[in-house]
Amino acid sequence: MQLGEILQQSAVKTISSCTSKKRLFHDLGELAESSYELNATAVIEALIEREGLGPTGVGHGVALPHARIAGADAVKGIFLRLEKPLNFDAVDRQPVDLVFALIAPESAGVDHLKALALVSRTLRDASVCSKLRANSDPATLHTILTEQQSSQAA
């Protein structure tokens, strides 16, 4: 599995201001609907429910919200770069500015876990995060995410 298989360019966006985690989940839901034709309300509710189990802010300014929903036919990725970092209750108590959400079918099983591990590995790379923070163009952000993973596979 490669990031290019789960992340469409249309599902990558820079947001200038986000006031709360709930608002962020709404932005993710709307992007999931416009990019993947998923039900925005179902995505938002699933992300909020999953976040209730424990924060998905993994540290170093990165959050990996994820959820399973009915209606998803495969694992789908959504990436947001926040120009103004948001308090996300991350494990290191640092605000988040890079958000990679995963939406998976209810029956995804191992594919959901593989995608989560792939995204986690990619965003643990400090040079990838630096490049993402230095750019705001969605096409450039998509290229950074998908090229990095492809070069690691080679």
- Paired with 100 in beta bridges are 79
Per this entry, what is the length of the chain?
154
User: Can you tell me the distance from the alpha carbon of 74 to that of 104, in angstroms, rounded to the nearest whole number?
Assistant: 6
**Is-contact 133 81, C-beta < 8 A?**
yes
User: Can you tell me the distance from the alpha carbon of 122 to that of 60, in angstroms, rounded to the nearest whole number?
Assistant: 13
- The residue annotated as part of the active site, out of 26, 66, 112, 142, is 66
Residue type, 104: A
Catalytic (active site) residue 142: no
Residue 48 structure tokens: 């909020």
**Is-contact 90 66, C-beta < 8 A?**
no
Going along 18-115, which residue ranges are E strands? 57-59, 62-63, 66-69, 76-86, 96-105
Active site residues: 66
